[in-house]
Amino acid sequence: QKEVEQNSGPLSVPEGAIASLNCTYSDRGSQSFFWYRQYSGKSPELIMSIYSNGDKEDGRFTAQLNKASQYVSLLIRDSQPSDSATYLCAARHPNAGNNRKLIWGLGTSLAVNP
Amino acid sequence: DAGITQSPRYKITETGRQVTLMCHQTWSHSYMFWYRQDLGHGLRLIYYSAAADITDKGEVPDGYVVSRSKTENFPLTLESATRSQTSVYFCASSEASGASSYNEQFFGPGTRLTVL
């Protein structure tokens, strides 16, 4: 059974700190990974996607992928109260064929305290 | 440019009634998806579609019907609503591209459905 695991949290960090969100996946064949942010009562919003080992940076966000250890992480630098949300991790297996289905984690709740 | 829209945004219905949730996208994305999101279960795929007239079941298809006669529309019908179908429903779309693409999914605003 292909799975994506996340710590449900809540993860609480002070404003200005680095928030580190982690995600592990069970299927070694997974190749594309996605981080979504979901505010309460809103729809998921894509933040980052990554498929190569290493780091990918976009503004205050850095996604890190380590395929050997089967984990993906999202770092949020200079955390702001507006970053308080649930962060969803998703993975796509290449053998999913042309159906583009994703495997979703349950999400980590992040609270940034002023 | 509206992107992806869903209607209605809120719906209250009664057990046994038929309900149709609409999804419309303006990006001409080939792929469209219907999810439901419930506490403790996260996002669960109901049905998806690779193109007009091509649909397939997801993880939790029972009690739902979809159609896709046009690329831009992907309605979801609950043929006889049950209380267990009370949920938030999200539609998403993704473009069809080569293996090097990330194939991100983009979500609509959601429909909150309550079945009494």
Q: What is the pLDDT of residues B28-45, one digit of tens each?
A: 899 999 999 998 889 999
For position B97, what pLDDT does the model report?
66
At residue A99 the predicted structure's pLDDT band, cuts being 50, 70 and 90, is: low
Which of the residues B47, B105, B106 would you substitute to probe the A interface, choosing the one with the greatest number of A C-beta atoms within 10 Å? B105
Give the tokens for residue B103: 């194939």
Chain A residues in contact with B42 (beta carbon < 8 A): 88, 104-107
CA-CA-CA-CA dihedral for B64, A33, A44, B9, to nearest 10 = -20
Average pLDDT over residues A74-99: 88
Q: Is any Cβ of chain A less than 8 angstroms from the Cβ of B105?
A: yes
Cis check for the bond before A94: say yes or no (omega within 30 of 0): no
How close does chain A come to B10, measured CA to CA in Å? 12
Q: What is the pLDDT of residues A25-78, one digit of tens each?
A: 998 888 889 999 999 999 999 999 998 999 999 999 999 999 999 999 999 999
Would you call B48 and A100 a contact, using CB atoms and an 8 Å cutoff? yes
Q: Is any Cβ of chain A less than 8 angstroms from the Cβ of B90?
A: yes
DSSP conformation class of A69: T
Would you call B90 and A44 a contact, using CB atoms and an 8 Å cutoff? yes
Average pLDDT over residues B84-109: 86
